[in-house]
Structure 1
């Protein structure tokens, strides 16, 4: 299950909060971002992966979730990134 979204993060939101939010899901959750023509992919449960993506407001990203609670995980990530 995947969905492409545009990020709208507030200054108060941190990647640590996103990481903590998704730890409760059994699904594997990945984020894909086009950086200068190359697709970068990171496991959202990895803080280092999130840091390397350098997420910014108005970035277009694809969230990919696989597993038993993929739908719920995708909704949680989307809600966080679009605040």
Structure 2
């Protein structure tokens, strides 16, 4: 049975980071990785393995998002996404 983990995080993206980098980093995971963001009362959901989906989310510093990972490596995938969106300086 596949694991499912969900976490709400606040986005802190450095100017040097790009969504393309995040997309490339998470391709190594088998899990389905979804990002959900509330935009003007509507929840927008994107598969993080879809570059177009990432662009449509238009992530900005301070955004609050829900990361949902489903699969055998869900915990590791969530950790990777969290590390990217909340980098430690």
The residue aligned with 2:51 is 47
Report the structure number with the largest CA radius of gyration: 2
Counterpart CA distance in 2 for 1:80 and 1:71 is 14
1:36 Cα deviation after fit: 0.3
Any residues of structure 2 matched to 1:1-80 within 5 Å, and which? 1-80=5-84
Counterpart CA distance in 2 for 1:57 and 1:36 is 17
Please, what TM-score do these two structures have when normalized by structure 1?
Answer: 0.99
**Count of residue pairs the alignment pairs up:** 83
Unmatched runs of 5 consecutive residues or more in structure 2: none
Deviations 1:30-72 (A, max 9, x none): 0000000000000000000000000000000000000000000
Aligned CA RMSD, in angstroms, stands at 0.3
Unmatched runs of 5 consecutive residues or more in structure 1: none
